[in-house]
Amino acid sequence: MSDASVPTGAGAPRARLMGVPGPDGRFGEFGGRFVPESLVPACVELSSAFDEAWGDPSFHEELDGLLTTYAGRPTPVTECRRLSEQLGVRVLMKREDLAHTGSHKINNVLGQALLARRMGKQRLVAETGAGQHGVASATAAALLGLRCVVYMGEVDVARQELNVFRMRLLGAEVRPVSSGSRTLKDAVNEALRDWVATVETTHYCIGSVMGPHPYPYMVRELQRVVGDEAREQCREVLGGADPDVVVACIGGGSNAAGTFAGFVDTRSALVGVEAAGGAALGSGVPGVVHGMRSMFLQDEDGQILEAHSISAGLDYPGIGPEHAQLAAVGRATYHSVGDDEVLDAFRTLAATEGIIPALEPAHAVAWLLRAARTGEVPPGSTVLLTMSGRGDKDVAQVMEMQS
């Protein structure tokens, strides 16, 4: 566990960051457990089961074995020489796009699927936007012999047809959601309703660092492997030094939380990049949604506003509560980029490095392009960027936009 701390102001006490939250699951003023009374026992059961499993060497042995022999860990850090030369900064990429199923999502899902089996659950329900978490959930369910239902907004079903086919090929049932904005927020709503009705036999496999306690903490710990690996790999490449800047895209924020956990106790600047149409930390206010207190896009009456992003995975009107805390205490900064910048970054990375990114991490690339060109990231800096997924799923969408 990290024992990191940062000052919260001149003379202020130092607050521990990215460690174990208290029993109420709070990260400062954010987090918590705001669920119907019928779900409180399930959350308590899950919290207890995760704490027990996380302290059990045999659980880690099985999970680590799967991460190595099935998911393909450790993923490498790639030096992006041509992009570095173009930008005047040294760019390293943590290659989660090379993990099995094509993104970091498999790290979290394998852990939760093992935990579900340990708890005696026979069924997984999951929500997905870009489809990568749905694919990972369907993959783990097939591997462990569990039934799997994935909720996905109709808008996302249409723009991620390939991932929908992959989920069904893996044996999962995909249930399109027609309510609300028909995107990720609404898929979460339906998955929660399913869990309430089937909690005795079902584990809700949340895909990001969001939801009621223990999910934000549990998912961050299951994704910590990204940051822990990257920190050691960067030190090998940089002669024992840490990167000046660590950057990752943010929707709910699991890939960023996992990456930041490895660097939160270093001097590296931590940067999260949101979609301009879903910038909860740029335009949001505190509120309670989906079982957690965090920052959300809301109108003056407290109604949740629709988010927009070219990427289905960042099309969410809020952010994980631990990110809200990191922003509040100043340990991480959060920025947003627009769709045009993302498309430019998508093409730039493909043309300079032969890496086609998913549209989600293309947001992080877009911020880096802007920040290096404007001097926000000074010349000669070293930057680690988490390439959280590959762009196979998005090529058809980008091609249609260009036609």
**Which residues participate in catalysis according to the annotation?**
80, 104
Task: Kindly tell me the burial class for residue 176, based on how many C-beta atoms sit within 10 Å of its own C-beta (0-12, 13-18, 19 or more).
Answer: middle
Task: Phi first, then psi: give them for residue 320, nearest 5 degrees.
Answer: -60, 145
Task: Specify which residues 173 forms β-bridges with.
Answer: 149
Spatial separation of the C-alpha atoms in residues 285 and 296, rounded to whole Å: 6
Task: Kindly tell me the burial class for residue 402, based on how many C-beta atoms sit within 10 Å of its own C-beta (0-12, 13-18, 19 or more).
Answer: exposed
Spatial separation of the C-alpha atoms in residues 40 and 317, rounded to whole Å: 25
Token digits for 50? 């995760």
Helical (H) or strand (E) element with 15: strand 14-17
Interior CA angle at 29 toward 284 and 1, to 5°? Answer: 110
The residue type at 266: T
Spatial separation of the C-alpha atoms in residues 253 and 42, rounded to whole Å: 24
The number of CA neighbours under 13 Å toward the Cβ of 383 is 30
Task: Kindly tell me the burial class for residue 278, based on how many C-beta atoms sit within 10 Å of its own C-beta (0-12, 13-18, 19 or more).
Answer: buried
Spatial separation of the C-alpha atoms in residues 259 and 162, rounded to whole Å: 28
Q: Could you list the beta-strand ranges (E) of 210-305.
A: 245-249, 269-275, 285-289, 292-296
Spatial separation of the C-alpha atoms in residues 165 and 254, rounded to whole Å: 24
What sign has the CA pseudo-torsion 75, 80, 83, 86? positive
Q: Among candidates 209, 217, 170, 172, which has minimal Cα distance to 26?
A: 217
Interior CA angle at 71 toward 70 and 76, to 5°? Answer: 130
Spatial separation of the C-alpha atoms in residues 158 and 155, rounded to whole Å: 5
